[in-house]
Structures are given as C-alpha cells and as structure tokens.
Amino acid sequence: MGFRTVEGITVPAVTAAQMLEVDRLATEEYGLTILQMMENAGRNLAGNVMEMLGKAQGSVTVLAGSGGNGGGGLCCARHLHNRGFGVSLLLSKDPGTLTGAAAHQLHILQVAGLEPVPPDDAQEAIGRAELVLDALIGYSLRGAPRGRVADLIELCNRDAARVLSLDVPSGLDATTGDTPGPGVRADRTLTLALPKTGLLSMPGDLYLADIGIPPQLYQRIGLTFEPFFGGRYWLRLETFQ
C-alpha cells in the first residue's frame, strides 16, 4: 500500500524515526526554525478548519498538548481567533508548566485575551464546539496516553461533533498505525511534510500540508521525488494497493 494525490502522483511515507531526522536536518542544517514550520502548519490547519466548516467563522475547541503538536494547534487557534472564530483552549497540562514553542504560542494568545478553559469545563467546551481540533500528541507517541490526555481523547470521541487531527490522530502510532490505548477518531487528519506510514489504514479523510521543507532535504534520508504540491499548500491523499 502507499499514498498518492488525487491526480495519481505517488507520495512517499515516513516513519516516526525518519520524521524526527527530517525535523533535525531542517533545524540544524537548513536553518529552518521550529516556529517557522509551526506557523506554516498552524496557518494551513486553520484553512482546513474553514474548509471543513464551509465558512469563515464558527466555534472551535482546540485540544493542545505540551509539545510541538500542541504548539501547532495553539498557532492555529491564533489564526482562527484573528478571523473572528469563537476559540476555546483545552490544555493537556497546566499553562504554567508549558515550555518551548508551545509556551510561546500560548503566550501570544494570552496577551490577546484568550485564556485556557479550566479542566472541569472540558466536556462542555468539547460538546458545544462545531469542530474539535486534536493537537495533543502527534508523531511522538510513547505508549498508551494517560492522565489528562487520555481523558481529553475519550471526551473528544464521545462528545465532539467533528474532529480534525494535526499530523496524526492522538493515540495512534505514527509508524505502525497501532493504538496502544485510547485514540482519537478523526473525521480528517492534516499530516505535515510527508504522510506517516501508520496512517495507511486510518479511517477518515487524509490531507497533507506543506510546512516549507525543501525536497532536497529528503534525499538525506533516501527519498527522492518531484514536488507535488503545485500551487497548493495542502492537498488530499488517497491510499492504493
């Protein structure tokens, strides 16, 4: 099995380990920053939210983890907030414990007046949203989700009207597609840079977003392909035998 665009162009897939190396090469050798790539991811994610809802405003609840995936979700929250969406934030950790890019993205939102929803109000925030954005874990899953992350996944599956996952549905192993514990059931997943091998048998629609990584970088991990985005910043993927 593999991935291809709707035009029939084959798109290579990567494991979690390969994607980790891609991220390392992007930052250490090509000079791309985490915040640059996160901004591209967040903007493309906001575009997918609007595409799914079919309108330029609405109510969205963002489930954000403490790592890079959560930072991308918080960046998306800013783009939606800037366009008049009603945005609610649910964090997997207490706001004061965030570090790095996720803390940076949250700070911008807080200065703009958007504060995280208390954990006790999670069910209401998920249930009232027109769409829930899952940005809890991404490709860095290590074992079954636990604690607040597991609780948010279960609430999302039970009460969300529609779900858009960033990169990989939270709880799904990006390499194997296994779910060692609770896993988000997404209506659409927007994966980043290249699709992950674990998404081959995933239910729901799969889209791929450009985050600005040059095609030549992938040659370092043994992948050679012609650019396939064309004039788009995201595109739909299909699987084939």
From edge to edge, which strands make up the β-sheet containing 59-64? 10-11, 2-5, 234-240, 205-209, 188-192, 163-166, 131-135, 59-64, 86-91
State the residue for tokens 């799914």: 52
| DSSP collapsed to 3 states, the chain | CEEEECCCCEECCECHHHHHHHHHHHHHCCCCCHHHHHHHHHHHHHHHHHHHHCCCCCEEEEEECCCHHHHHHHHHHHHHHHCCCEEEEEECCCHHHCCHHHHHHHHHHHHCCCCCCCHHHHHHHHHHCCEEEEECCHHHCCCCCCHHHHHHHHHHHHHCCCEEEECCCCCCCCCCCCCCCCCCCCCEEEEECCCEHHHCCCCCEEEEECCCCCHHHHHHHCCCCCCCCCCCCEEEEEEEC
End-to-end CA distance of the chain: 4
- Over residues 31-63, the pLDDT tens digits come to 999 999 999 999 999 999 999 999 999 999 999
Question: Half-sphere exposure (CA, 13 Å, Cβ side) for 52?
Answer: 28
State the total domains in the chain.
Answer: 1
Quote the pLDDT of residue 86.
98
Residue 127 pLDDT > 90: yes
The confidence band for 241, taking pLDDT boundaries of 50, 70 and 90, is: confident
Cα separation, 205 vs 200, whole angstroms:
11
Whole-number Å distance between alpha carbons of 26 and 213: 7
Question: What percent of the chain clears pLDDT 90, i.e. is strictly above it?
Answer: 97
- The pLDDT value given to residue 88: 98
pLDDT at 1: 84
C-alpha separations of 185 from 42, 56, 124 in Å: 21, 24, 19
Domain enclosing residue 67, as ranges: 2-240
Please tell me the predicted confidence (pLDDT) of residue 226: 86
Residues in the chain: 241
pLDDT classification of 25: cutoffs 50, 70, 90: very high
Average pLDDT over residues 165-172: 98
- For 222-239, the pLDDT digits (tens) are 999 988 999 999 999 999
Mean pLDDT for 127-147 is: 96
pLDDT recorded at residue 32: 98
Q: What's the pLDDT score for residue 193?
A: 98
156 token code pair? 């999302």
Q: Is the pTM of this model over 0.85?
A: yes
Say if residues 66 and 97 touch (Cβ distance below 8 Å).
yes
Q: Torsions phi, psi of 192, nearest 5?
A: -115, 140
Q: Which range is least confidently modeled, 117-121, 163-167, 213-217, 224-228? A: 224-228
What CATH number did the domain enclosing 135 receive? 3.40.50.10260
Q: What is the mean pLDDT of the chain?
A: 97
pLDDT at 72: 98
**Above 90 in pLDDT, residue 3?**
yes
* Confidence (pLDDT) at 101: 97
pLDDT tens digits along 178-220: 999 999 999 999 999 999 999 999 999 999 999 999 999 999 9
